[in-house]
Amino acid sequence: MLFPMRLLLIICLIALSVTSLQSQTVKKKPILTGADQVNKYLPYLRGKRVAIMANPTSIIGKKHLVDSLHALDVNIVKVFGPEHGFRGNVGAGVEVKDETDAATGIPIISLYGAKNKPSKQDLADVDILIYDLQDVGVRFYTNINALVRLMDACYESGKEMLILDRPNPNGYLVDGPVLDMKYRSGIGMFPIPMSHGLTVGEFARMANGEGWLTNKATCKIKVIPVANYNHDMEYVLPVKPSPNLNTQQSIMLYPSVCMFEATYLNHGRGTLFPFTVFGSPELKGIYEFSYTPTSIKGMSATPLFMDQVCYGIDLRKYDVNLLRKSKKINLQWIMELYKAHPHKEKFFDSKLSREMNSIEIQIGSGLFRQQIIDGKSEEEIRASWEPGLSQYKVMRKKYLLYP
């Protein structure tokens, strides 16, 4: 017997409504970082002597990871502190000293000062090392270098590393030239593009798999993956990852604008909105927008063009969704500012920029400087990144934990 058309239409509408509600329910599942999923790793820590690499981004909910695990009676024997210190109370570029944490009484060993890697003695009384630092997904953000040094140390001492994974806010973006290893430096140690599209858990798997540890060693790692996450998801960081990446806007612009660090332009250091404004006193009369860098404790003590009015571009209200849609680093800003600069011989002078990183080291390519000088098109510049970038994308797939 055939259903009346009206009844069939009602059934179809109900089915569509149920499907829609199910879809909305899936979308509403909150992203849970590795650290948030305490039940997945707390039993694994029982009876073990634990060390933790942490900074202010290492949180469970709104509470610091170390404070939370300490309250749960995890035997934390020491904490390793990176740049800015374990509690984030040290200024940019300032050496961090060993100390005892006032809140917990746990010894803190600095890895930003006299040494950048734990010694065998440091790990002698440790069974497992936890790594939990927020990354922003670019080659020149040096947390991934620290991660590999820790993996080296764990391998050398026969220790295991537990990685509490966190979303990459720029996880959607895989772009830029793959590092030419003759420009290997402290801001680029591995043959990956400027924006690598990996979480730290995935990067650790890649470092093991591609033989990037010393003597191609393999560190024993266990990753607690992020729940309800994929690389295309928007993720707003709950804690600023470093003093000069202090807004979500700066974090999303960072893959495209960090190259300005190797130019004779102020890139917002000395303001409360670094990496979102760019300028120079020499661009007066060319741009209307202006700002004045000053000394700001904990962020930038002596910024380029301090106390001078800079003229340039303001990206504080730029729609970063345009970057998400294009899935490309924006090259137009640096191309535009080079063309506008009246003293082009100064533009790529790294000694003048005070950062002391040449554009070759920053970009990871020996071609970029001349391409900009010659007025090459974006298409021509991008063509020079191949086949390396496409080969990296294929290799990357082997190590992904998320869609």
Judge residue 269's burial from the number of C-beta atoms within 10 Å of its C-beta, 0-12 exposed, 13-18 middle, 19 or more buried: buried
- The token pair at 305 is 């063009």
Confidence of residue 90 (pLDDT cuts 50, 70, 90): low
What mean pLDDT value characterizes the chain? 91
Determine contact, residues 112/131, Cβ cutoff 8 Å. Answer: no
CATH class of the domain defined by 38-224: alpha beta
Query: Which of 287, 249, 252, 237 lies closest to 266, judged by CA?
Result: 287
pLDDT tens, 349-376? 877 766 668 999 999 999 999 999 999 9
For the segment 89-93, the average pLDDT, to the nearest whole number, is 63
pLDDT digits (tens, 9 = 90+) for 194-242: 999 999 999 999 999 999 999 999 999 999 999 999 999 999 999 999 9
Element (H, E) at 18: helix 5-28
In the chain, ranges of CATH 3.40.50.12170 domains: 38-224
| Residue in 257, 261, 264 with CA at minimum distance from that of residue 348 | 264
| Across 109-118, 242-251, 370-379, least confident range | 109-118
- Spatial neighbors of 29 by CB under 8 A, at least 6 apart, are 227, 228
113: buried, middle or exposed (CB in 10 Å: 19+, 13-18, 0-12)? middle
- Other CB atoms within a 10 A radius of the CB of residue 402 amount to 19
Spatial contact of 265 and 293, defined as CB atoms under 8 Å apart: no
Best CA proximity match to 181, nearest among 364, 394, 356, 360: 364
Give dist(CA 344, CA 348) in Å, integer: 8
pLDDT bin (cut points 50, 70, 90) of residue 131 is: very high
Which pair of structure tokens corresponds to residue 202?
Answer: 């995935």
Question: What one-letter code names the amino acid at 12?
Answer: C
Q: Which of 368, 140, 355, 190 is nearest to 267 (CA)?
A: 355
